[in-house]
Copies of this chain bind each other. A is one copy, B any other.
């Protein structure tokens, strides 16, 4: 099969890989209909994070059709169209049952498998995969794929930020996750949604997804603007969808005491000084999003065409042109790149 491998910073190749096989009776093999490049894939691409192997199989987002199942798989059948999260989970342990499937005690990170490929092995298929109500029409594929990571992650950020009626929610980050968080905050009923963005196309999509205010300031200055816009108090909740020291403190400083910071940007070089955090008095919650918690609801909202999160994809390429997809995202020519095997 064809699959995407990263050999080093800036060096992405689509090449022949061995077909995956059922290794455990709880595995399924998926024929990938669509996959994509994640903002987190850019960290090793930019040399800001080491590869886990050389070369490393890339990708952790996926939708597709079940091609084969292990002997113990009972919730999905060959031929089912399914969506899964970037973390395989049993969905039965106490952590999963509490809604934290991304930290399942049997978790398998899909990034270690690489779903930017024609086929992918899905561990713990019963717990991981969610069937769509039927065979989706082609125009629903991008939105279902978004649910696999960015939508689910933005949704989690908005839930962690306690977005809801009467609330003012700010979103730090105008990438696919940040934009998805705007959509989520809107859907969850937030009254006012403030987004930080300097990028015209992303500002436009943010407004389409429900943003009420766009700010171009950053860092302490950006946070101060949110405080100013909220009567001196700060936002009720802020979603952090970048992962840098500046963006984390921007999120914390934009939040009122007692408010909620939902942080979903994978941290890079972040150090939180304890006393500053102590006196910020916010709720801080985040980490790898338990997308599986939200998948059934998100799939239904997409199926019913209530939400259209697939709009975050602004470039679609064949899998063989993955390298161009990485380049486009690296250069911010594309927000999110969909790849079709």
Contact = CB atoms under 8 A, between A and B. Distances in A.
A98 B258 contact: yes
Contacts of A280: 287
Task: Give the one of A232, A258, A286 with max B CB within 10 A.
Answer: A258
A245 B233 CA distance: 30
A233 B103 contact: no
Given A103-B257, A274-B248, A274-B267, A288 B284 contact: no
Interface string A92-119: 0111001110110100000000000000
Nearest to A289: B281
A288 B277 contact: no
A277 B272 contact: yes
A8 to B, nearest CB: 22
A258 B103 contact: yes
Interface residues of A, number: 42
A286 B282 CA distance: 7
Number of copies: 2
A274 B290 CA distance: 18
A47 to B, nearest CB: 17
Interface string A269-313: 111111101111111111110100000000000000000000000
A214 to B, nearest CB: 24
Given A267-B278, A271-B272, A277-B272, A233 B94 contact: yes
A273 B271 contact: yes
B267 A277 contact: yes
A267 B279 CA distance: 9
Nearest to A265: B278
Contacts of A283: 283-285
B274 A273 contact: no
A74 interface: no
B288 A258 contact: no
Contacts of A271: 271-274
A232 B105 CA distance: 9
Contact of A270 (B270, B274, B290): B274
Contacts of A231: 94
Nearest to A244: B274
A280 B284 CA distance: 12
A27 B206 CA distance: 48
A32 to B, nearest CB: 27
30 contacts: A93-B233, A94-B233, A95-B256, A95-B257, A95-B258, A100-B257, A100-B258, A100-B281, A103-B257, A105-B232, A105-B233, A257-B287, A263-B278, A266-B275, A267-B273, A270-B273, A270-B277, A271-B271, A271-B272, A271-B273, A271-B274, A272-B272, A272-B277, A277-B287, A279-B287, A281-B286, A281-B287, A281-B288, A282-B285, A283-B283
The 9 A-B residue pairs with the shortest CB-CB distance in the complex, in nearest-first order: A270-B274, A267-B274, A103-B257, A100-B258, A281-B287, A272-B272, A284-B284, A283-B285, A267-B275
Interface of A: 93-95, 98-100, 102-103, 105, 231-233, 243, 245, 248, 256-258, 263, 266-275, 277-288, 290
